[in-house]
Structure 1
Amino acid sequence: MIRIIFSILFLTFSLNAASNTGVAFVHGTGNQTDALNDYWKSEFVNSVKIGLPDQSKYAVINCSFEEYMWTSPAAGCLAGQLTSFISSEGITDLVVITHSNGGNVIRWIMSNPTWDSRYPDIINKIRWVNAIAPSSAGTPLAEAVISGNVFENSLGWLLGYANNGVRMQQPSWMASYNSSWLLGTSGRPSLPKSFRSIVGTDVETAIWDSDSYCGGYTENLGLEITQAWLSSCSDGFLDCSSQEAAGTVWFRDKSKTKGREPLSHNQSRRKCFNLDTILRNDI
């Protein structure tokens, strides 16, 4: 028995020594040039990367996800930056952390390995994708923005305006993509690597509650308003059913967050309620 235990420990240490772990942060909808500060915030990224054996092995992606997921500015840009990161840092074990529409772009890469010669190596290196609030089945709010009604102004800060990245996230459009081009949803083949969703279930904006201010009270208030047009289980931008449509559910917010707090769509890319610690420990 002792010999077996030592053999297992030796194998574990050998595998850890042989792997070179890195983490990539993939933003959501928008044309990002400084996603570290403008999308994620450095306090969130810096906290998560503590989980790396070498904290320098991380990349914050900056691409234009205002375009359709398969285009050069979107999946092409993501593939290029992931390939450069893998190559320059010798990454053999890649954890991808995405948010919102970023989950669709990485799922495109994982679903279509023959589309681009860079895709297979990226897929091979991925350990798994932690998809925070992924818009896997789209959102009715995208339809509202595209149709140009009242949401266009109130959600401009969140979605951008009527660009192709938003247009793509209309539920009927995502249903079409999920049935033909994307893997991982019901009735479709599984993705080649795990796609694990973290689901935001509610928005809280009690003015007397300090938790409502995490990530920015104004942003959370906007999501509280738009939640009225979504299901009872939503993060203010996405129904839970959309977030849970692809891959597997890792957890719904309240089951793991500090104080069983919900994560609004804004808070799920911020250092709120120990989300950063959960992701750090997962690495």
Structure 2
Amino acid sequence: MKKILWGFILCTVCALAKANTGVAFVHGTGEQSDAFNDYWTGDFVNSVRQGLPNQSNFVVINCDFTQFMWADGAAGCLAGQLTSFVNSRNITDLVVITHSNGGNVIRWIMSNPTFDSRYPNIINRMRWAYAIAPSSGGTPLAEQVIAGNVFEQSLGFILGFANDAVRQQQPDWMAFYNSTWLLGTAGRPALPRRFWNIVGTDVESSPFDPDSYCGGYTETLALEVTQEFLDACSDGFLNCSSQEAAGTLWFRDVQATNGREPLNHNQSRRPCFGLDVILRNNV
């Protein structure tokens, strides 16, 4: 038995050693043309990709995620860019790093392999997805945006305005999708690849705390306001329960960040409190 076990471990190590690893950065809600600079920032992307054996094996996705997750401009665009990436670079070990609504789009692809002929090739090459603050259960703030109240303006920098992606992230709508079209939530079949959640738990906005300025103080202050309408455990945009609704919890921010600092919804797409280094060390 021991010989069999060690043989399995050796085969696994050899397979990983021969793999050609690549990382894809998948943005959240919004129509992006330069997500490298405008969504993630170069500091974040360049830090994470240092963990790759070949640091040029990365792609930053630019799609129209104002559409429903299954739409051609959303999942279709993502499938096209991922297919071009894995085929052109011969990627056999694909790690996907998503943020917010990007988790819903990649989960759509993993949940519906027969919907598009490109999906199986992507799934087969995926190791897993790191889902940073995924909106798997939606957010009450999406309802507020659709209603057209003040949140439409204050959350414009993260959520955008009333569009199909925002409608999709209303809790009732996500509950329907999670019970029908999407995998990985309670009572549903598991996803074909691991979907590891990184959860933001709080917003700290003291003007006297330098940590509040990481990622931009204006954004932090706006999320402090919106957090008043969410659970105590939230990142200013999403309740922790929504972020943990699908897949497997990897860690809540304070369990792993420098100084046990929480990550608000904007900071979790920035090189704040060592998040970039955590990802770098695990790609």
Letter in 2 for 1:130: Y
Residue aligning to 1:18: 18
Cα distance, 1:165–1:6 mapped onto 2, change above 3 Å: closer
Residue aligning to 1:41: 41
Deviations 1:247-275 (A, max 9, x none): 01000000000000000000000000000
Letter in 1 for 2:45: V
What is the Cα deviation at residue 5 of structure 1?
A: 11
Partners of 1:210 and 1:145 in 2: how far apart? Answer: 30
Structure 2 residue 149 is matched with structure 1 residue 149: yes
Partners of 1:176 and 1:245 in 2: how far apart? Answer: 13
Residue aligning to 1:180: 180
Deviations 1:187-233 (A, max 9, x none): 11100000010000000011111001000000000000000000000
Residue aligning to 2:92: 92
Q: How many residues align?
A: 281
Identity of aligned residues (%): 69
Residues 161-200 of structure 1 mapped to structure 2, 5 A cutoff: 161-200=161-200
Residue aligning to 2:270: 270
Residues 231-270 of structure 1 mapped to structure 2, 5 A cutoff: 231-270=231-270
Partners of 2:151 and 2:10 in 1: how far apart? Answer: 57
Partners of 2:190 and 2:180 in 1: how far apart? Answer: 13
Partners of 1:254 and 1:200 in 2: how far apart? Answer: 8
Cα distance, 1:228–1:9 mapped onto 2, change above 3 Å: closer
Secondary structure, aligned partner of 1:176 = helix
What is the Cα deviation at residue 18 of structure 1?
A: 1.8
Letter in 1 for 2:199: V
Partners of 1:257 and 1:79 in 2: how far apart? Answer: 32
What is the Cα deviation at residue 26 of structure 1?
A: 0.2
Structure 2 unaligned blocks of 5 or more:
none
Secondary structure, aligned partner of 1:159 = coil
Secondary structure, aligned partner of 1:268 = helix
Letter in 2 for 1:20: N
What is the Cα deviation at residue 64 of structure 1?
A: 0.3
What is the Cα deviation at residue 150 of structure 1?
A: 1.5
The TM-score with structure 2 as length reference comes to 0.96
Secondary structure, aligned partner of 2:47 = helix
4+ aligned runs moved over 4 Å, structure 1: 3-13
Residue aligning to 1:50: 50
Partners of 1:200 and 1:276 in 2: how far apart? Answer: 14
Structure 2 residue 204 is matched with structure 1 residue 204: yes
Letter in 2 for 1:271: P
The TM-score with structure 1 as length reference comes to 0.96
Secondary structure, aligned partner of 1:96 = strand
Structure 1 unaligned blocks of 5 or more:
none
Secondary structure, aligned partner of 2:250 = strand
Structure 2 residue 149 is matched with structure 1 residue 127: no
